[in-house]
């Protein structure tokens, strides 16, 4: 079993480019099932979840080939409406990303004009809208809770670059907050991380952000501010998937996190694994994190990215 060994309590210094978004890549691969012509997805992360999705597309009759971080998908669909009639309103009881994605693709693949209410406002849905419109669809309203979709349009192939992974960026930023130092992340839009940046700034971190670059700094001799109350909420609130990273950073930097050298922990999923990484970066001594296969589902070579930021980490 692979293990991640982290020597914590060392301030981070360095720059790194954030991987392509696992969530966005999975969403765009689902959309390829509606498109009969070749679609080229650039900046796809080399993670198990994307490989599994590609395998599923092949089972559905698509040709899927990979060249490094680029996936080429060919033969996904007819390009014509899947339903002979349609139009109406789809009401979502909760603004989930997957539910919104399913509703949008259903509407695109049907005839008629559709309104989707209660939609997720997340950046991944905006990325789906941009992708579909580039391929000949007509979707509007991303960033708000109501989307409009004109179904029945013929879709064509094209090329798109997958956005940066917000969860990976959140993990790295929280790791920098826990350990202290100065780090720079590239490849993600700072506006998409605004709810997290607000929390880290209030906790005492220095932050500078321009376009696709974020710089975080913290004097390791000055702990993060105690007593902060952080709540998760659907985007544009702080996503629940990032809350374990924030909690680990605040606890560790305030002396309530992992203690002692030589400890071992097991990641039960990517979320818990990320929280353990954040906690280990801020805690003095060596920590061993097991269960890396669960982290590899969503994060690409996390140890290499951490080393770019000056972390003492290796995989065994």
Residue 88 has pLDDT above 60, yes or no: yes
Q: Nearest to residue 104, comparing CAs of 115, 88, 112, 94?
A: 115
Proportion of the chain above pLDDT 70, given as a percent: 94
pLDDT at 261: 47
pLDDT in tens, 190-219: 999 999 999 999 999 999 998 899 999 999
Proportion of the chain above pLDDT 90, given as a percent: 87
Q: Give Dmax (Cα) for the chain.
A: 66
pLDDT confidence bin for 316, thresholds 50/70/90 = confident
pLDDT confidence bin for 257, thresholds 50/70/90 = low
C-alpha torsion 301→303→306→311, nearest 10: -170
**In contact, 8 and 179? CB cutoff 8 Å:** yes
DSSP letter at 231? Answer: -
Mean pLDDT within 224-239:
91
What is the average pLDDT value for the chain, to the nearest integer? 93
pLDDT in tens, 5-58: 999 999 999 999 999 999 999 999 999 999 999 999 999 999 999 999 999 999
d(CA 205, CA 3): 30
Q: Which two tokens stand for residue 140?
A: 């509007």
Q: How far is CA 27 from the centre of its chain?
A: 11
Q: Are strands 181-186 and 213-218 parallel, antiparallel or unpaired?
A: antiparallel
Residue 256 has pLDDT above 90, yes or no: no
pTM of the entire predicted model: 0.94
DSSP letter at 20? Answer: B
């Amino acid at each position: 079993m692979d293990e991640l060994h982290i020597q914590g309590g060392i301030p981070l210094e360095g720059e790194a480019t954030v991987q392509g978004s696992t969530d966005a890549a999975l969403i765009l691969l689902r959309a390829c099932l509606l498109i009969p012509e070749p679609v080229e997805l650039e900046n796809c992360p080399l993670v198990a979840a994307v490989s599994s999705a590609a395998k599923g597309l092949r089972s559905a009759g698509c040709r899927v080939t990979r060249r490094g971080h680029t996936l080429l998908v060919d033969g996904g669909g007819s390009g014509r409406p899947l339903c002979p009639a349609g139009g109406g309103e789809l009401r979502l009881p909760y603004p989930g990303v997957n539910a919104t994605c399913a509703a949008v693709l259903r509407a695109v693949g049907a005839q008629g004009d559709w309104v989707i209410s209660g939609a997720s406002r997340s950046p991944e849905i905006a990325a789906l809208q941009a992708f579909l419109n580039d391929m000949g669809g007509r979707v509007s309203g991303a960033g708000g809770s109501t989307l409009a979709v004109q179904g029945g349009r013929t879709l064509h192939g094209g090329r798109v670059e997958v956005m940066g992974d917000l969860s990976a960026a959140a993990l790295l930023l929280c790791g920098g907050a826990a350990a202290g130092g100065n780090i720079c992340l590239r490849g993600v839009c700072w506006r998409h991380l605004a709810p997290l940046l607000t929390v880290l700034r209030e906790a005492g971190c220095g932050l500078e952000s321009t376009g696709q670059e974020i710089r975080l700094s913290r004097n390791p001799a000055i702990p993060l501010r105690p007593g902060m109350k952080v709540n998760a909420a659907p985007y544009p609130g702080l996503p629940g998937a990032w809350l374990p990273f924030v909690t680990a950073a605040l606890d560790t930097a305030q002396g309530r996190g992992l203690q002692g050298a030589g400890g071992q922990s097991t990641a039960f999923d990517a979320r818990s694994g990320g929280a353990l990484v954040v906690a280990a970066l801020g805690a003095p001594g060596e920590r061993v994190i097991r269960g890396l296969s669960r982290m590899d589902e969503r994060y690409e070579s996390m140890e290499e990215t951490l080393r770019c930021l000056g972390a003492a980490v290796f995989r065994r």
